């Protein structure tokens, strides 16, 4: 008996690690035990493109070269360079331009379906400026998704001036981060069968800038054929930080700071000659952020190539990719109450919370929301409407906390709610199945330091992916576990079939042309509700469309904005 036990023990210790044969070569990962008695095969830091260094900097991603021998894939690859070292959304590790890697977590057991397991490719957020796939623990992803028969992939992509610098004329094409994401999808499409995944059942999922990326990739003809379902959590290509021509100005300012001037080809050659540290030092010189509603310096833009047409036109003939899309009920709290000056300058200092007033909010609306070059009549009308809605609505008895909440609502509406509503509307009109959600639950620990107690931007990440960037990790209580269960109950069946599962026993119904406001409220308890952010939708699509230049709103605040 002792000999049998010893033999079994030694077999467990010396079991062979998983080795996968791909077209590029052999890849060795490791096995991770799951709580349900099964296990996941984990492969970290797998290159999906050649390192974008030297002459490949500021070029479209190039396929990886094959390798000899066995590539060890047991540690995360280096995160891509961040916009600033002062705030990063990555795990430990040295940053590098050689960062185009992905991570694969797959069930160890053979799939009962001969086609393989359904696949998720997750795109991280971070405003296109910070973030990395190593921020999301493979342990949590494996427990939440792989245990339910899903192959889960997380990716890196170039960020900030390394991923979105452009000359605006095609010499340095811009949108390189989107092209990286597309290359990662091609890699998954080509190789995922070797990891027991089904290349004909791929869901693209993202949060924040990652969500805007999913939205963008679902529209571009260069990428939309590479996946079959979309999950967009707090972001849309219609969002101002995902589409703004300011990137061209920022790019030329950066080049000038590095003494790279002249024709575009000279600028490109000069920028390629600089060290990564020189580029990062120059970012500091031109300023990390802009003191506007959209603070991002280096973001995607409409280039005529990745986006041959404007997004609302692309939707009309886009592939019919079933889409889950939604927001949290106080996304703006992340931008107005958490002081991250290296990424944005909008946050109200904590010392000001107790006496934040109507005049403070009014000042922001008139100086940061209303462009100065559209004529006094337009400016005055727009300012009055914004003040009436965000400052004066509800009467004279509002408190300091009420005004802080209204300030956060400005960001919640303009950067998230209205773009998501508009994208959902356009997709439904084009015959694309759309399911809307809103997160209306949060753990009180997350907001104990803040005057407004709602679900901030990124609220779902700890529950789905095990990463905490709003405060320190906390132990899930009974409500947290119920909330997590509901999120997974809705998402996992969608990943497998294209239709969400029941949530707390309720059918998650799609929106229709007649009922654009139905949505799943993830709360305690979760349930279907009507009139998704209806008050804000009415203000922006009705009141603001009366007497205000829609072009002005579209250019400065809402790229997808159109009056009915």
pLDDT at 2 (0 to 100): 37
Would you tell me how many other CB atoms lie within 10 Å of the CB of residue 283? 23
Full set of structural domains in the chain with CATH = 48-286 (3.40.50.1820), 322-557 (3.40.50.1820)
Task: Write the CB contacts of 506 (distance below 8 Å, at least 6 apart in sequence).
Answer: 520, 526, 527, 528
pLDDT at 6 (0 to 100): 37
Structure tokens belonging to residue 343:
């990424």
pLDDT at 342 (0 to 100): 67
Would you tell me how many other CB atoms lie within 10 Å of the CB of residue 410? 24
Global pTM exceeds 0.75:
yes
The secondary element (H helix, E strand) that includes residue 42 is strand 39-47
Asked if 443 and 470 count as a contact pair (C-beta separation under 8 A), the reply is: no
Pairwise pLDDT comparison (563 vs 137), residue with the higher score = 137
Mean pLDDT of 308-335: 95
Distance CA 317, CA 305 (A): 16
pLDDT digits (tens, 9 = 90+) for 496-542: 999 999 999 999 999 999 999 999 999 999 999 999 999 999 999 99
Asked if 58 and 165 count as a contact pair (C-beta separation under 8 A), the reply is: yes
pLDDT digits (tens, 9 = 90+) for 142-195: 999 999 999 999 999 999 999 999 999 999 999 999 999 999 999 999 999 999
Percent of the chain with pLDDT over 70: 95
Would you tell me how many other CB atoms lie within 10 Å of the CB of residue 188? 26
pLDDT digits (tens, 9 = 90+) for 394-439: 878 899 999 999 999 999 999 999 999 999 999 999 999 999 999 9
Within 13 Å of residue 175, how many CA atoms lie on the same side as its CB?
29
In the predicted structure, residue 128 carries a pLDDT above the cut 70: yes
Q: What is the 3-state secondary structure (H, E, C) of 118-182?
A: EEEEEECCCCCCCCCHHHCCHHHHHHHCHHHCCEEEEECCCCHHHHHCCCCCCCCCCCHHHHHHH
pLDDT at 14 (0 to 100): 40
pLDDT digits (tens, 9 = 90+) for 59-117: 999 999 999 999 999 999 999 999 987 766 777 778 999 999 999 999 999 999 999 99
Specify the pairing of strand 39-47 against strand 30-33. antiparallel
- Burial (CB count <10 Å: 0-12, 13-18, 19+), residue 349: exposed
Structure tokens belonging to residue 210:
């990652």
Pairwise pLDDT comparison (499 vs 374), residue with the higher score = 499
The pLDDT-based confidence of 377 (bands split at 50, 70, 90) is confident
pLDDT at 527 (0 to 100): 98
pLDDT at 4 (0 to 100): 38
Asked if 326 and 318 count as a contact pair (C-beta separation under 8 A), the reply is: no
The pLDDT-based confidence of 564 (bands split at 50, 70, 90) is confident
Distance CA 276, CA 83 (A): 12
Specify the pairing of strand 39-47 against strand 101-107. antiparallel
Long-range CB contacts for residues 5-9, cutoff 8 Å, separation at least 24: none
Mean pLDDT of 487-492: 99
Specify the pairing of strand 434-439 against strand 323-328. parallel
pLDDT at 379 (0 to 100): 82
In the predicted structure, residue 470 carries a pLDDT above the cut 70: no
Mean pLDDT of 333-358: 89
The secondary element (H helix, E strand) that includes residue 343 is none
pLDDT at 471 (0 to 100): 64
Structure tokens belonging to residue 469:
């960037």
Query: How much is the mean pLDDT over the chain?
Result: 93
pLDDT at 545 (0 to 100): 87
What are the φ and ψ backbone dihedral angles of 118, each rounded to 5 degrees?
Answer: -65, 155
Distance CA 484, CA 320 (A): 29
With tokens 């939604």, the residue in question is 326
Q: What is the CA radius of gyration of the chain?
A: 24
Mean pLDDT of 370-393: 85
In the predicted structure, residue 10 carries a pLDDT above the cut 60: no
């Amino acid at each position: 008996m002792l000999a049998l036990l010893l033999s079994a023990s030694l077999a467990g210790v010396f079991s062979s690690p998983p080795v996968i044969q791909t077209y590029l070569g052999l890849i060795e990962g490791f096995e991770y035990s799951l709580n349900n008695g099964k296990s996941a095969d984990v492969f970290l830091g797998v290159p999906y493109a050649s390192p974008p260094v030297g002459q490949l900097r500021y070029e479209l991603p190039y396929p990886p070269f094959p390798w000899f021998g066995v590539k060890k894939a047991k540690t995360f690859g280096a995160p891509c360079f961040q916009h600033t070292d002062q705030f990063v959304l990555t795990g430990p590790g040295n940053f590098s331009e050689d960062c185009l890697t992905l991570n694969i977590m797959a069930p160890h057991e053979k799939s009962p379906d001969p086609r393989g397991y359904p696949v998720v490719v997750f795109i991280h957020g971070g405003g296109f400026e910070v973030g990395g796939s190593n921020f999301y623990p493979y342990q949590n992803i494996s427990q939440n998704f792989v245990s339910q028969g899903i192959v889960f992939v997380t990716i890196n992509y170039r960020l900030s001036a390394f991923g979105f610098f452009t000359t605006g004329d095609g010499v340095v094409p811009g949108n390189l981060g989107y092209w990286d994401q597309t290359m990662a999808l091609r890699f998954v499409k080509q190789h995922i069968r070797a990891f027991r995944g089904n290349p004909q059942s791929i869901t693209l999922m993202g949060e924040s800038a990652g969500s805007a990326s999913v939205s963008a990739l679902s529209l571009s003809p260069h990428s939309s054929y590479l996946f079959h379902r979309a999950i967009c959590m707090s972001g849309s290509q219609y969002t101002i930080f995902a589409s703004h021509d300011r990137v061209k100005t920022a790019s030329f300012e950066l080049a000038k700071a590095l003494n790279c001037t002249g024709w575009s080809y000279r600028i490109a050659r000069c920028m390629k000659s600089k060290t990564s540290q020189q580029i990062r030092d120059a970012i500091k010189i031109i300023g990390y952020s802009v003191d506007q509603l959209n603070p991002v310096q280096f973001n995607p833009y409409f280039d005529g190539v990745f986006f041959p047409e404007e997004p609302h036109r692309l939707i009309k003939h886009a592939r019919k990719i079933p889409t889950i899309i939604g927001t949290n009920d106080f996304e703006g709290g992340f931008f107005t109450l958490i002081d991250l000056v290296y990424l944005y300058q909008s946050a109200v200092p904590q010392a000001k919370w107790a006496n934040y007033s109507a005049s403070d909010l009014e000042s922001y609306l008139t100086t940061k929301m209303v462009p100065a070059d559209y004529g006094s009549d337009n400016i005055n009308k727009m300012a009055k409407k914004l003040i009436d809605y965000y400052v004066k609505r509800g009467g004279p008895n509002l408190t300091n906390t009420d005004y802080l909440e209204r300030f956060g609502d400005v960001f919640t509406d303009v950067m998230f709610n209205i773009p998501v509503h508009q994208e959902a509307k356009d997709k439904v009109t084009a015959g694309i199945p759309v399911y809307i959600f809103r997160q209306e639950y949060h753990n009180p620990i997350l907001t104990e330091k803040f005057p407004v107690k709602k679900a901030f931007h990124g609220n779902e990440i700890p529950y789905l992916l095990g990463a905490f960037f709003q405060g320190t990790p906390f132990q899930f209580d009974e409500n947290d576990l119920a909330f997590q269960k509901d999120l997974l109950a809705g998402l996992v069946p969608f990943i497998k079939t294209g239709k969400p599962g029941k949530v707390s026993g309720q059918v998650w119904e799609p929106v229709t042309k007649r009922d654009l406001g139905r949505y799943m409220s993830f709360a305690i308890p979760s349930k279907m509700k009507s009139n998704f952010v209806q008050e804000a939708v009415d203000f922006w699509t009705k009141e603001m469309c009366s007497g205000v230049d829609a072009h002005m709103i579209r250019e400065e605040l809402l790229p997808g904005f159109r009056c009915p």
